[in-house]
Structure 1
Amino acid sequence: MRLLIKFSSDTAIKIPVGYNYYFQSMLYDLLSDDVIHDKGVGARNYKLFTFSRPIGAYKYSKTEKVLTYEKEVKWLISAVDNEFLEKIVSNLMNTDFVKIGEQKLLLSSIEVMKTPPLKIFKSPIQIKMLSPVTIYSTLYDGEGKRKTYYYSPFERDFSTKLKENILRKFNALYNKTPDDDRFEIEAVKPKKEWEKIVEYKGTIIKGWMGRYRLAGNPELI
């Protein structure tokens, strides 16, 4: 299930460039008094939800490092667990406002979007990223120092590592491996400007926007 949430303000909406932290903090604030806040799946306690970048026309200020929207912004959340999203809806409906950084936002509307049936995901299918996709490995140098290596869609391992990640989460969610483990992702005419570098809790993270072709088992797509 997915939620398309619309927020509004009487004035221009200013959202920090490092919006990931603020939107995730808002989510956890909405769930802070609920056991679902700590609910995950598998040994790694995966939180199987994702959310888009703020959606809407904006102006970017390099000096302030903020995105300015004209009194309205949309936001899409998707999750495997419907209960997770139901709690978000319930708590939003009982909240006067939410805060993104120092910006107070009012709830304008919530649209519940059903998960499309598997038959729609015919292989291959083309998608557009609504938030940067991040694929990385933790490596160690000769001195044993840890280093994070981020893969790009220009590399073959980008698809391989994403497939490994999907299979781990499938196994954690269903406690089994899929009968058909075919999965490939290929960037459609990738461009360097698709790369997005964001700061999250003091850590630099690299991700990629753009359009991609997915092929394989519809359950994994």
Structure 2
Amino acid sequence: MAGSWEGSAGFSTDYRKRVFMDLNAEYEKGDEGLSSTSISGSITWRVRQNLSLEFGPELSLEKDPLQYIDTFKEGLSSPRYLFGKIDHKTLGLTVRGDLALSPTLTLQLYAQPFVSSGEFSQFREVLSSRAEKESQRWHKFSPSESLLSDGVYSLTRPGESSPLVVKNPDFNFRQFKLNLVLRWEFRPGSALFLVWNQGRGDYAHQGRFRYFQDLSDLFGTHPRDVFLIKISYLFDL
């Protein structure tokens, strides 16, 4: 019988202290190797009365043996559906900072580097989704039936002459977001905002999780910078 179980735990420290933190963890286990682990937390540091910093790391580990990959229709009498096992890893960090330079002048920081990878294996094709026996529902491609060449998989069932051809679905996705806002309240209810926004992103068909190498590749990409000036003014009517 299909089934799963899950558990979670967490704790936090006294938020009235100069340094306080919280941590949460969740784990889920299902059939056929399906599993999910997530750990997230935050550390807040009140450096001074006018300066606070917050660091929020988050880690996610997922394994799914039935991840959908593609559908093949061209030249076929009926569609063919391809699935595979994915080993998906994600690590992110959120940084926030608040600095009061004066009662009317403040600086706010938001930064988030994010790295995610997915590595596929154990490809399988749907034969009959309603069959009672698993061996009748799927054809699981063996290593000898799954050939990778120049970034393309050729998947051939026994007795077939035309393989399923699919681009290597492995991936590495990297992203960085930065938002820096200087706010000046030049009169009660009216403020001027100077905003710097930066974004970076990169995608590659690699699949292996290498956090520091991924960060190096990410910050080697060309940034997209946006500078904005905003003003809000309260009219006396």
Scaled to the shorter chain, the TM-score interval is under 0.3
Bigger fraction of residues in helix: 1
Rg larger in structure: 2
What is the TM-score of this pair, normalised by structure 1?
Answer: 0.20
Provide the TM-score with structure 2 as the length reference. 0.19
